[in-house]
């Protein structure tokens, strides 16, 4: 009797814990200010072609 009760507890815990972890999902992305977004947009439009999106540059710049 004792083993079956322990087995039931382990079975229930094995179902509940993964379900709770899946329900949380991925963390939401960090929010950025309007100024940060505008700076990224301007750099992407006018600078990234030569300097690279990661700002490491390339042989052209």
Where are the chain's structural domains? Answer: 33-61
pLDDT of residue 6: 60
**Structure-token match 């301007």, residue found:** 42
pLDDT of residue 2: 57
Q: How far apart are the first and last CA of the chain?
A: 75
pTM as predicted: 0.46
pLDDT of residue 61: 67
Reading the block at residue 18, the tokens are: 């993964």
Q: What is the pLDDT of residues 2-56, one digit of tens each?
A: 556 666 565 555 666 665 556 667 777 889 999 999 999 999 999 998 888 888 8
Residues 6 or more apart from 50 whose CB is under 8 A from it? 57, 58, 60, 61
pLDDT of residue 55: 81
């Amino acid at each position: 009797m004792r083993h079956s009760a322990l087995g039931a507890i382990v079975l229930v815990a094995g179902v509940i814990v993964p379900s709770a972890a899946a329900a949380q999902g991925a963390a939401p992305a960090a929010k950025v200010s309007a100024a940060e977004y505008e700076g990224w947009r301007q750099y992407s439009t006018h600078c990234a072609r030569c300097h690279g999106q990661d700002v490491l540059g390339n042989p052209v710049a």
